[in-house]
């Protein structure tokens, strides 16, 4: 295989040793958990490692890669990451439409445990956040890291270990949900053994960044790398602390958290809100700060503002999670602290959104004509809207109406669909022709179709949830003259059905756009390579035949 032939002899030995360890761990889990669901995951790990080992052995004796490889950036992991991103996006959004349809038409359920809402819903959230979003961050961070440091990745093995190891974690998570394996923690449902594996993968990911930055030929560390590094480092901190748990035994999937009661709730929402902050915000801001200026052909409007925004977001977001626990047993001062930081957080958030939009000054004609750049512009707008709404909803009086209602669902999807997905698709559309050295995307018209499907789907979804959420909140707090509730919970459910139908339709529109994106990018990859392609400006500094070409936005 081409991937194996790119590895040096020492890297092939390291890969063989890694597969051997994984096979041993998988078989041990299967044996110890033969009467438990962990045994099934043991076989998943073992079979995956055996498949990798077989692929390695088939090309183990291939000639060592040529030294000329060092004159090019190492982009193959990014290429595979792009495809995995699009596949996970379709899977996660398809399941999302499924569970949305179940809320609108509960009678459509299948009489099987794996098809219940409680098992399908985390597949949607994890598939979109971690499968789609995580792969996009890994793929783009490898690309951005190399271009902004003018240095090749430090080796060929560790990027593949991170990419494939991360996707093994995603598979363990999704298959575990279908079987009923869960910690019942929002955005942190995989059990202890999957959590440990992710820590190993994440440490290697962090080391790639550090090793590349230490070898950089460019003295300045571009701001996109600041955001990517914050994403990697803080997510590791959040993941480890929130998932501290004691398993029943090494042969059982079930574990018990080290935290209990209000401490567990506080730790969970410190994790949950900062997963939004550093996974779904900081990482994708790094993406925006590189690909939007590159596509627009304009430098960042204010580089200083991007740095100030970085430190504001990094400091303030860490304190905001407790606003999810208003009117609970959490101490009142902790709730107020979270509310205050959430409101102040609007300043650095809007600084980034405004910086992105002002970067387009002098390039608005490109926004009009280029749907790819329009994706990025719309993402910045939704980022500004979602952060304003988040700060507003953190205020205790507003929270009393909005929390636990569909308004929160609408807010989350304004950020997930409008911000995260839009900047991801815009970046991948820009990146694909660059990586595969194609003159353009397969079809600009399909990008237009995707843009309008994504925008209309997001608007339908968010407006439906805003309306249903406000109605829910009002119905739950309406009293009659005798002092009792005017509406039962079932009454509120009946009132929600039209909005749930609208939500399912909006999700279907967005899913249609995701399918179009997958098709368009696959067809772009299959286009013939141009006879001549000048890549002299896209190789590491010091190995170029001519002076380096400055990148827009750097």
Quickly count: other Cβ atoms within 10 Å of residue 76's Cβ: 17
Q: What's the rounded Cα separation, in Å, for the pair 421 and 89?
A: 9
DSSP output for 224-260: HHHHHHHHHHHHHHHHHHHT-EEES-TT-S-EEES--
For residue 98, the surrounding DSSP H or E stretch is: helix 76-104
Is residue 365 a known part of a binding site? no
Collapsing DSSP states into helix, strand and coil, what is residue 444?
A: helix
The secondary structure of 123-192, three-state, reads HHHHHHHHHHHHHHHHHHHHHHHHHHHCCCCCCCHHHHHHHHHHHHHHHHHHHHHHHCCCCCCCCCCCCH
Quickly count: other Cβ atoms within 10 Å of residue 312's Cβ: 18
- The conformation of residue 330, written as its DSSP 8-state character, comes to S
Tell me, rounded to whole angstroms, the distance of Cα 426 from its chain centroid: 15
Q: What's the rounded Cα separation, in Å, for the pair 217 and 122?
A: 43
Is residue 413 a known part of a binding site? yes
Is residue 324 a known part of a binding site? yes
**In this structure, are residues 91 and 131 in contact, taking their beta carbons and an 8 Å threshold?**
yes
Is residue 41 a known part of a binding site? no
Phi and psi dihedrals of 60, rounded to 5? -65, -35
Quickly count: other Cβ atoms within 10 Å of residue 74's Cβ: 18
**Binding site residues, as ranges?**
124, 273, 323-324, 411, 413
Known binding positions for heme b: 124, 411, 413
The binding site for Cu cation comprises: 273, 323-324
């Amino acid at each position: 295989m081409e991937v194996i032939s790119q590895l040096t002899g020492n890297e092939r030995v390291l890969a063989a040793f890694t597969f051997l360890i994984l096979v041993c761990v998988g078989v041990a889990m299967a044996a110890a958990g033969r009467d438990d669901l962990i045994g099934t995951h043991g076989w998943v790990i073992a079979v995956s490692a055996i498949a990798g080992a077989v692929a390695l052995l088939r090309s183990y004796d291939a000639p060592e890669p040529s030294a000329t490889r060092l004159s090019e950036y190492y982009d193959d992991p990014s290429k595979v990451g792009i495809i995995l991103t699009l596949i996970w996006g379709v899977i996660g959004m398809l399941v999302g439409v499924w569970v949305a349809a179940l809320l609108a038409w509960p009678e459509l359920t299948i009489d099987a445990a794996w098809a219940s809402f409680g098992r399908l819903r985390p597949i949607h959230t994890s598939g979109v956040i971690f499968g789609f979003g995580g792969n996009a961050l890994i793929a783009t961070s490898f690309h951005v890291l190399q271009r902004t440091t003018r240095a090749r990745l430090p080796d060929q093995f560790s990027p593949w270990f991170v990419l494939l190891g991360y996707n093994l974690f995603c598979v363990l998570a999704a298959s575990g949900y279908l079987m009923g394996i869960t910690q019942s923690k929002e955005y942190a449902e995989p059990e202890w053994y999957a959590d440990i594996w992710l820590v190993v993968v994440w440490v290697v990911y962090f080391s790639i960044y550090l090793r590349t930055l230490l070898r950089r030929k460019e003295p300045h560390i571009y701001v996109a790398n600041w955001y990517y590094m914050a994403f990697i480092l803080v997510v590791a901190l959040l993941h480890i602390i929130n998932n501290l748990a004691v398993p029943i035994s090494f042969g059982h999937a079930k574990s018990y958290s080290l935290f209990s009661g209000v401490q567990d709730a506080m730790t969970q929402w410190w994790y949950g809100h900062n997963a939004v902050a550093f996974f779904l915000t900081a990482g994708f801001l790094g993406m925006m700060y590189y690909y939007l200026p590159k596509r627009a052909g304009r430098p960042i409007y204010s580089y200083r503002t991007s740095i100030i925004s970085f430190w504001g977001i990094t400091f303030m977001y860490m304190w905001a999670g407790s606003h999810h626990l208003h009117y609970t047993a959490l101490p009142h001062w902790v709730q107020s602290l979270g509310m205050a930081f959430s409101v102040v957080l609007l300043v650095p958030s809007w600084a980034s959104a405004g910086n992105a939009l002002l970067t387009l000054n002098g390039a608005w004609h490109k926004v009009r004509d280029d749907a790819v750049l329009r994706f990025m512009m719309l993402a910045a707008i939704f980022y500004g809207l979602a952060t304003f709404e988040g700060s507003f909803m953190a205020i205790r009086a507003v929270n009393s109406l909005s929390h636990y209602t569909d308004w929160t669902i609408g807010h989350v999807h304004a950020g997930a669909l409008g911000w995260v997905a839009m900047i991801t698709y815009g970046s991948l559309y820009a990146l694909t022709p660059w990586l595969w050295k194609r003159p353009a995307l397969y079809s600009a018209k399909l990008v237009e179709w995707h843009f309008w499907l994504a925008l209309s789907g997001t608007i339908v979804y968010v407006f439906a949830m805003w309306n249903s959420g406000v109605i829910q909140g009002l119905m739950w707090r309406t009293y009659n003259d005798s002092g009792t509730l005017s509406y039962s919970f079932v009454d509120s459910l009946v009132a929600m059905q039209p909005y749930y139908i609208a939500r399912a339709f909006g999700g279907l529109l967005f899913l249609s756009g995701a399918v179009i994106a997958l098709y368009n990018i696959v067809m772009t990859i299959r286009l013939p390579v141009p006879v001549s392609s000048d890549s002299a400006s896209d190789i590491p500094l010091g190995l170029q035949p001519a002076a380096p070409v400055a990148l827009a936005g750097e």
